[in-house]
Chains A and B, each alone.
Chain A
């Protein structure tokens, strides 16, 4: 809980570092911060064009574009946050060597900066759902909780990989590869129901991946009637509980790894 303590004490620094990240990102482009909106809008448009017009993909009651977007945005957030934070401690070497402040703020601020973009695209997505005649349900109320859970998982991993990268500079490439593989282990482009065709151990192994749960929760919150698409063999309560616990455990491991290694950061970066 020292992380939460530090986070609270240094919340302004975390916010400043994150906002610096966002500011710097959109400082030079002429359209500036508009890009934070234009990129997700374009993505939604491209998906609808490809999947609804070109591929005429089958839609299990839900327009395919909505099915994809509800998963692709959470995934993009996860992927960018982890990808950006791998090298962040190493890159902040000059700062780490010269000033003392809680080091975990560096990866945390990167995750926060990406979260801002993610939340913006979620808002746009929710508005777009209206136009796709899908509508909203009371499940939307659970969204903040899901985002919080997602944030814990992402922060935990970000702390983990950024701390290891200091000593093992190969981490960056391994994470890059792992993220590509991971993408296909998450039901973004395929319905989760396909796992029904596999044996029980495989299904369990598959469901160990907390991102499967995350994506499913986002869909559940954003797409009314999505629960019916879940395979019957998966107990909903157990699934939620497992993902919740897994996220917390990963966060705790991440914090521990980071805490344990941060004393040598200044010597190694």
Chain B
């Protein structure tokens, strides 16, 4: 017998005027005010859960996850279809249901405990383990109003796991709290799973679904899109999130807009796929959407002399001027400008909110803002600009022009990758000054070398030792950095005989295999001389502008006469963690100006 089975479950909400229920009730039918209409929060949902199995429910915000969970826990009743559950159900839709601020932690344990279905006797017996799990200690006798949100949450979870259940229904609560407590909670859930308890879990944590669930259900605007093996369902969700979904399946304009919003990762903070994690945001490429109220009228790309440009060189300045009109007052908006490379790499997307600029109010009428980059470090390629006026919390955009403004960066230096990174080559611990670009005469050689290196990088085959020169060790001094830190990589070359003209090439890759920056010491006019024995060699990024992510280095060394001598595809790995929230791959110097900005702010 299945533990739980849902057949064609549907829940309809009537969107009506909030007021006048009594009047409408008393009036004859034909006089009643008109309803706005019906809204199916979920429809035609079916699933089956055997004892011991765990179901993960995923989908963008507003897709009906919580409604489905409410139906499963009996909090609301289905409009159509039915759900049967053969066992004891407990719900964890919120932590600390019924907590009262004036009562002590201990009194609240009793209160919350009985609400969750424990008896007073059981609670008394489990009191010690609840207090221990919550880690609150003697604070348990203090009134709840003195607790922090985190403490309350810990207490809530500690009580909840004591409630008896066969099926526990959990709504996204495990993503709150610090990492340590989250792990503790998860360990507890794993324990329950081992002894054959079942869960229905709504979450945005796709890894959780893949690793913890036996089945997964993908919802979109209340409809079941996929159901079954969690890996496959998550893969489908990821695919659809990247904008390859079928948007035109009989959706209304509003629903479509919502879908685009959620699929392009603009749900909310938790919902949004971090560009640095997925690498691509292809959702609504070259599309415009938004709520109205404010309208972006004109976007101009300007050079130093305020002439419009469509092509610039690496290192040139670029001003992005945006003119907009506002129809009605908007409080607490923010402006955003993002640069995408045309293969979808999200380069950099600063906004006024992340830069700490507070815009209190946009008044009706015309206005403008401008983002000035004194020097754009991006390397050759085609790019597109996204310009947006957002609501405070990025829940929705007033006007959002996604990747609508193309521009080009010309090939200058012979480097490759997304962005130029300031760097210094080092020999025996001393930085070497750049000698000017030696590559000019070597372009044919450069091309040939690139081809070889990239082939080696793909094969991850270790190069055979040649001519007795090897990279003996290569280390990154730390493995965790913050944005803007100096990053130094040190290596030791071993050689049997003197080598007088050794060029070194490095490529810096992000975890998702995007080549951020690759260059050769030849581009700086530097050739190393190796004496027999060991030579200390290094590379330093004095002020790394890379944003959050995990990175790895590939190193190749080349003798001018003998071609490529060796390649190490993954020489050093390090992680840059977030100190300031920013979207993209690299951050660069910028300045905000605008009619609604009180200060001209430089970062």
Which of the segments A39-47, A110-118, A165-173 contacts the partner chain?
A165-173
Contact (Cβ within 8 A) B21 A168: yes
Contact A266 B76, beta carbon cutoff 8 Å: yes
Q: Is the CB of B77 within 8 A of A24?
A: no
Q: Which listed residue, A13, A167, A267, touches B13 by the CB 8 Å rule?
A: A267
**Contact between chains at A23 and B107 (CB < 8 Å):** yes
Q: How large is the interface on A (under 10, 10 to 19, 20 to 34, 35 or more residues)?
A: 20 to 34
Complex interface bits, A84-101 against B, C-beta within 8 A gives 1, otherwise 0? 000000000011111111
Verify if A56 is at the interface (C-beta below 8 Å from B): no
**Residue on B nearest A101 in the bound complex, by CB:** B115
A161 to B: closest C-beta gap in Å: 13
Q: Check A97 against B70 for contact (C-beta < 8 Å).
A: yes
| B77 pairs with A99, CB closer than 8 A | no
Q: How far is the CB of A188 from chain B (nearest CB, A)?
A: 31
Question: Hey, what's the 0/1 contact readout for A236-269 against B, CB within 8 Å counting as 1?
Answer: 0000000000000000000000000001101100
CB distance from B396 to the nearest CB of A (A): 24
Please tell me if the beta carbons of A12 and B76 are within 8 angstroms of each other in the complex: no
The distance in angstroms between the C-alpha atoms of A266 and B41, with both chains bound, is 14
Contacting pair A13 B70 (CB below 8 A)? no
Q: Per-residue CB proximity of B18-62 to A under 8 Å, as 1/0?
A: 010110010000000000000000000000000000000000000
Question: Is B119 in contact with chain A by the CB < 8 A criterion?
Answer: yes
User: B residues within 8 A CB of A98?
Assistant: 75, 91, 93-94, 97
By the criterion CB–CB under 8 Å, are A97 and B75 in contact? yes
- What's the A-B contact tally at a CB cutoff of 8 Å? 71
Within 8 A of A (CB), among B81-129: 89, 91, 93-94, 97-98, 100, 102-103, 107, 110-111, 114-117, 119-120
A20 to B22, CA, bound (A): 33
Say yes or no: A167 contacts B21, CB within 8 Å: yes
Bound Cα distance from A96 to B91, whole angstroms:
12
**For the complex, what is the distance from the CA of A166 to the CA of B572, rounded to whole Å?**
63
Q: Decide if A28 is an interface residue (CB 8 Å cutoff).
A: yes
**Hey, which chain A residues are within 8 Å of B98, CB to CB?**
95, 99
Option from A24, A94, A266 in Cβ contact (under 8 Å) with B102: A24
Q: CA separation between A222 and B531, bound complex, in Å?
A: 113
In the bound complex, do residue B111 and residue A263 qualify as a contact, i.e. CB atoms below 8 Å apart? no
Q: Is B73 an interface residue (CB 8 A)?
A: yes
Would A95 and B120 be within 8 Å (CB), given that A23-B103, A266-B75 are in contact?
no
How far apart are A243's CB and chain B's nearest CB, in angstroms?
30
Given known pairs A13-B115, A168-B21, the reply for A100 and B120 (CB within 8 Å) is no
Q: A168 to B97, Cβ gap below 8 A?
A: no
- Can you list 12 A-B pairs with a CB-CB distance of less than 8 A? A20-B107, A23-B103, A24-B103, A27-B103, A96-B75, A99-B93, A100-B73, A100-B75, A101-B117, A167-B21, A167-B25, A168-B21
